Amino acid sequence: MGIKSNGEQQTNKAIGWAARDSSGVLSPFHFFRRHEIVGVVTEIGNKVEKFKVGDKIGVGYMVGSCGTCDSCNDELENYCPKMIPTCSAIYYDGTTTYGGFSDVMMANENFAVHIPDTLPLDATAPLLCAGITVYSPLRHFGLDKPGTHVGIVGLGGLGHVAVKFAKAMGAKVTVISTSPEKKQEAIEHLGADSFLVSRDQGQMQGAMSTMDGIIDTVSAVHPLLPLIGLLKCQGKLVMVGAPDKPLELPVFPLLLGRKIVAGSCTGGMRETQEMINFAAKHKITSHIEVIPIHYVNTAMERLHKSDVRYRFVIDVANSLKL
pLDDT of 17 reads: 56
Which residue in 183, 181, 210 sits closest to 194, CA to CA? 183
Give yes or no for a cis peptide into 98 (omega within 30° of 0).
Answer: no
Q: Which superfamily does 130-263 belong to?
A: NAD(P)-binding Rossmann-like Domain (3.40.50.720)
Query: What pLDDT does residue 25 have?
Result: 78
pLDDT at 238: 98
Whether the Cβ atoms of residue 63 and residue 84 lie closer than 8 Å to each other: yes
Q: How many residues are given for the chain?
A: 322
Least trusted range by pLDDT, from 211-215, 251-255, 277-281, 298-302? 298-302
pLDDT tens digit sequence for 17-43: 567 677 777 766 554 433 748 999 999
Mean pLDDT calculated for residue range 303-309: 87
Q: Does domain 2-128 have CATH number 3.40.50.300?
A: no
pLDDT at 320: 62
The pLDDT value recorded for residue 294 is 87
Average pLDDT over all residues of the chain? 90
Choose among 248, 165, 252: nearest CA to 213.
Answer: 165
Q: How far is CA 134 from the centre of its chain?
A: 7
CB 152 within 8 A of CB 166: yes
CA atoms within 13 A on the CB side of 294: 5
Model confidence pLDDT, tens digit, residues 73-132: 999 999 999 999 998 899 999 988 888 777 788 889 999 999 999 999 999 999 999 999
Cα 37 to Cα 114, 124, 175, 273: the distances in Å are: 12, 9, 29, 14
SS3 of 242, please?
Answer: coil
pLDDT at 7 over 60: no
172-200 pLDDT, tens digit each: 999 999 999 999 999 999 999 999 999 99
Least confidently predicted of 1-10, 89-98, 296-305: 1-10
Is the pLDDT assigned to residue 226 strictly greater than 70? yes
pTM above 0.85, yes or no: yes
Residue 15 has what pLDDT? Answer: 55
Q: Which segments of the chain belong to CATH 3.90.180.10?
A: 2-128
Domain with CATH 3.40.50.720 in the chain: 130-263
Percent of the chain with pLDDT over 90: 76
